[in-house]
Amino acid sequence: MNIRNIAIIAHVDHGKTTLVDQLLKQSNTFRDNEQVAERVMDSNDIERERGITILAKPTSIIYKDYKINILDTPGHADFGGEVERIMHMVDGVLLLVDAYEGVMPQTKFVLKKALNADLKPIVVVNKVDKPTARVREVIDEVLELFIELGATDEQLDFPVVYASAINGTTSLSDDITTQEHTMDPIFDLIVNQIPGPKGDKNKPLQFQPALLDYNEYVGRIGIGTVVNGTIKVNQMVSCVRLDGSIKKFRVQKLFGYFGIKRLEVEEAHAGDVIAVSGLPDIEVGETICEEDKEEALPKLRIDEPTLQMTFAANSSPFVGKEGKLVTASKIEERLRKQAEADVALKVEENGRDSFLVSGRGELHLSILIENMRREGFELEVSKPKVILKEINGEICEPYEDVEIEAPEDTVGPVIEALGVRGGTMENMSNLPGIVKLHYIVPSRGLIGFTTDFMTMTKGYGVLNHTFREYLPRNQADVGERKVGVLVSMENGKSTAYALGGLEDRGVMFIEPGVDVYEGMIVGESNKEGDLAVNVVKGKQLTNTRSAGKDHTVVLKKTKLLTLETALEYINNDELVEVTPINFRLRKKILNTEERKKYDAKIRSEKE
């Protein structure tokens, strides 16, 4: 059977996973009576809840006499490493672009990777049914992007399909009235425009894992495309390791993909997308070869982490009350297991009962924390910090490309805020009622910015950023929260009476009846310094009734923090306590007097 291997690439939320849904459904991959969920490729709970793809996943479709292997890739910059490695598994890409938003930072990032890998592109303009669609302008933007990225003449001659993935319709014309309920135009372009795999099944075996999965019984599973030759179950093979050494092993199992199922197969040939088990510590970029015919493929580049934070066993007075897994050894075991499958994650010991975890961004690390919380872990995590590098004798830090869309009347505060955070404006353009901004900002300047940005733009702003490069460190003090916090000075349950008396001091994070401990952050101060407060104080009861004093305390709305906003919010002397039921903000030093002495010492050192 003829094979076509393609990846679907796009900016986040431009409709990749929805398009794959339609390709699967309209190719009759599912039985008529099979129940299929929406966004079928997003298989884990967090992917479904947040509407994002976290892990790249292979699937396959039979169309006429062709087997089309499709890789659905993440759109978030934090998972860009997966996108880059997938380019080595495929011969072409479907580039999805939103018919209103057009070219965005991640569109540029993923297309650059595809063009560098010399892949044949097909452009799909999605969401053409939107009333705000501006199809022709978007095609012009895409063409400009191809030229800017140095596309060859052949790559510039890209075919275009116009689609509404949500409705399952496509057309080769930009006239929306020609849309038909079929995916055949996309299938036909894949079959006719994307070249078949270059490999030769008669040559010696070469297979290189570009992705990893993990199974408790067999260890790591390497996922990739067979470049040359044939591989069979129980075959003895050689693995050329990253350091050049050779390790021989027996292939325990081979898995192929059909629809969304991973099925065991007995053998696979050049061009097949498969998963191989048998070597428990296989690494991305190693090469599996026939015995005595070892020839390594070029190593795959893996993006280095840009952000790190400390994970530690929970040390609050509430330890063990809400979670089952609370010891440092359990946390280490879970982190090491995650690092087995996630090549972009690095875990190092960081003193007693704590670990330094490095990843590709806040989202990357916060999803790991969220998964651990759901599994019953209790832990405490520090503020994320960027990873500095020494390049040519100079200390450098990561910078990001930032694209912003904001309503016209909110642009002033956004520009001011980015200036304070070390940002440099590269470009500014106007759409009806909206201003588009392009900035280059140090990564640490973006920590904590998302929450402020949504407040500034009243929830209407769109913020996207992607890693650009390491540049000399900006000496400005960016990324620290400017306002102070309200910190509990007592243990107990919060009362409406106490909270009511503190409302003019700031915004509360807790409601009445919440268990608190000394050193726990209970609100945001409306001044710069931190303030120790008593939130457990009860009303003094007397036997004298006072006219007009019996009204109920009506409290203002509390400020709710999600896990991401909590991680962005804290400063370097604070932690987020994470349990299966709650996350709490706290000071590293819980005792009020000790903390005051420490703060005074730090202030005097600065002066």
438: CATH: 3.30.70.240
228, 311: one domain: no
pLDDT of residue 250: 92
Whether the pLDDT of residue 78 is over 60: the answer is: no
Read off the CATH number of the domain in which 215 is found: 2.40.30.10
| 595: nearest Cα among 541, 506, 550, 529 | 529
Contact 54, 46 (CB under 8 A): yes
pTM score of the predicted model: 0.75
* Residues 131 and 145 reside in one and the same domain: yes
Q: For residues 396 and 381, state if they share a domain.
A: no
Is 201 contained in some domain? Answer: no
| CATH classification at residue 79 | 3.40.50.300
Q: Which two tokens stand for residue 546?
A: 């006072």
Residue-level pLDDT at 143 = 93
Using 50, 70 and 90 to split pLDDT, how confident is the model at 207?
very high
Residue 198, in any domain of the structure: no
The H-or-E segment that residue 491 falls in is: none
> What was the pLDDT predicted at 33?
39
Could you list the beta-strand ranges (E) of 136-235: 160-164, 169-171, 206-215, 219-228, 230-232
- pLDDT of the residue at 283: 84
Query: Is the residue at 100 inside a domain?
Result: yes
Do 90 and 160 reside in the same domain of the chain? yes
| Coil vs helix vs strand at 512 | coil
Which region among 168-172, 205-209, 423-427, 536-540 has the lowest average model confidence (pLDDT)? 536-540
Outline where DSSP puts E strands in 73-148: 92-98, 120-126
Q: Which amino acid is at 104?
A: M
Q: Which of 386, 415, 432 is the last residue of a domain?
A: 386
Domain count, the chain: 5
Confidence of residue 604 (pLDDT cuts 50, 70, 90): confident
Q: What is the spatial distance between Cα 184 and Cα 192, in angstroms, rounded to a whole number?
A: 12
pLDDT for 20: 81
> Are 36 and 111 in the same domain?
yes
**Between 471 and 218, the higher pLDDT residue:** 471
Side chain identity at 319, as an amino acid letter?
V
Q: Give the separation between CA 485 and CA 13, rounded to whole angstroms.
A: 35
Mean pLDDT along residues 243-259: 87
Q: What is the pLDDT of residue 34?
A: 40
In a domain, 301, yes or no: no
pLDDT for 77 = 56
Decide if 299 is inside a domain.
Answer: no
Whether residues 375 and 422 share a domain: the answer is: no
Do 415 and 425 contact (CB within 8 A), yes or no? yes
Residues 6+ positions from 523 with CB-CB distance below 8 Å? 485, 486, 502, 505, 506, 507, 508, 509, 510, 533, 559
Position 35 pLDDT exceeds 70: no
Average pLDDT, the chain: 83
**Residue 523 sits in a domain of what CATH number?**
2.40.50.250
Is the pLDDT assigned to residue 42 strictly greater than 90?
no
Are 46 and 167 part of one and the same domain?
yes
pLDDT of 558 above 70: no
pLDDT band at residue 122 using 50, 70 and 90 as cut-offs? very high
Asked if residue 402 lies in contact with residue 441, where contact means CB atoms within 8 angstroms, the answer is yes
Final residue before a domain boundary, out of 449, 472, 495: 472
Sign of CA dihedral 48, 52, 58, 60: positive
pLDDT of 234: 92
Q: Are residues 110 and 99 in the same domain?
A: yes
DSSP state of 169: E
Going by pLDDT thresholds of 50, 70 and 90, the confidence category of residue 555 is low
Q: Distance between CA atoms of 266 and 272, rounded to whole angstroms?
A: 13
52 and 174 belong to one structural domain: yes
| Distance between CA atoms of residues 127 and 19, nearest Å | 10
Same domain? For 394 and 369 the reply is: no
Confidence tier at 79 by pLDDT (50, 70, 90): low
Residue 200 lies in a domain: no
Amino acid at 439: Y
Supply 138's token pair.
């978007």
451 or 424, which is more confident? 424
Look at residue 498 and tell me if it is in a domain: yes
Q: Is the model more confident about 178 or about 40? A: 178
Same domain, 54 and 29: yes
Residues in the chain: 607
Asked whether residue 283 is assigned to any structural domain, the reply reads yes
Single residue among 447, 472, 497 that ends a domain in this structure:
472
- Sorting pLDDT into bands at 50, 70 and 90, what band is 48? very low
Q: Domain check: are 400 and 330 in the same one?
A: no
C-alpha–C-alpha distance, residues 96 and 16, integer Å: 7
The whole domain housing 561 covers 485-576+583-606
